[in-house]
Structure 1
């Protein structure tokens, strides 16, 4: 590795981290997909699940804010939102300050889906942090900031 910002790392450590990232990403998606198929939320795809998660429980985000957060075109977002509205997970809410703006909110069914997905994420975080102490957290957070920055940069290209 020749990048000045990178740490000298042994080839086997690099391979371990690379393989672990790929494996974890793949397994999370597979588990989410599998759990959806076994649940009362069989009619929701992984992408729709993540759309519900982006809308959140209490905020009423604009369609533009959700599209930007998920790096979707407004057309793609509209199509997915239409499906989730039809299935009873999402509702469109006219913005009271600017009637031209549409906000998105979750129905009670959508909030239930959100909470189930959030519980899985909580289990992931707890298992990830298991055995670590407070002194480890700055390094873990730094690694995720670095990864997120890389992904943000890649998404812009």
Structure 2
């Protein structure tokens, strides 16, 4: 690996780990201190406005239905999610956020918004464009690797 590749690798690993640590610290120090990062991401995948099928949420999170069921059971006990079966087809299970779950969603969304504002603060418009272009290429690379 050349020097630039090594620096990029170190930065990517550090950024990934730092985001997870900051997210966890923010959760533990705030009103959502009973949630893990995984649970808040499950809440995010369920979404704010409509009930979703368990299979859709599991697919979005790239986890098994069994793993999601375990996570949903914990979130139900904590009061963030409710689960319902569709009357026309009792095999279909849907989940949706409770009022408490919607609050958690909004607070997590604000956390990400504040983080992004801090990142771009002080950047010139041309630097913002370079950042967006670079992150888009990085995202495309990871999506292609993930779809294999």
Common fold: TM-score over 0.5: yes
For the residues of structure 1 that align with 2:95 and 2:132, how far apart are their CA atoms? 30
Q: 1:145 to 1:86 in 2, by over 3 A?
A: same
* CA RMSD after TM alignment: 2.4
For the residues of structure 2 that align with 1:121 and 1:97, how far apart are their CA atoms? 38
Of 80, 83, 106, the residue aligned with 2:97 is 106
After TM superposition, give the deviation of residue 76 of structure 1 in Å. Answer: 0.3
Is 1:52 the counterpart of 2:28 in the alignment? no
For the residues of structure 1 that align with 2:140 and 2:85, how far apart are their CA atoms? 34
Q: How does 1:109-124 map to 2 (within 5 A)?
A: 109-124=100-115
Structure with bigger strand share is 2
SS of the counterpart of 2:52? Answer: coil
For the residues of structure 2 that align with 1:60 and 1:144, how far apart are their CA atoms? 31
Is 1:87 the counterpart of 2:89 in the alignment? no
After TM superposition, give the deviation of residue 28 of structure 1 in Å. Answer: 1.1
For the residues of structure 1 that align with 2:143 and 2:42, how far apart are their CA atoms? 18
Q: 1:146 to 1:95 in 2, by over 3 A?
A: farther
Structure-2 residue corresponding to 1:66: 57
Structure 1 segments of 4+ aligned residues over 6 angstroms from their partners: none
Structure-1 residue corresponding to 2:116: 125
Of 140, 143, 148, the residue aligned with 1:152 is 143
Is 1:16 the counterpart of 2:4 in the alignment? no
Q: 1:150 to 1:123 in 2, by over 3 A?
A: same
Q: 1:85 to 1:130 in 2, by over 3 A?
A: same
SS of the counterpart of 1:123? Answer: helix
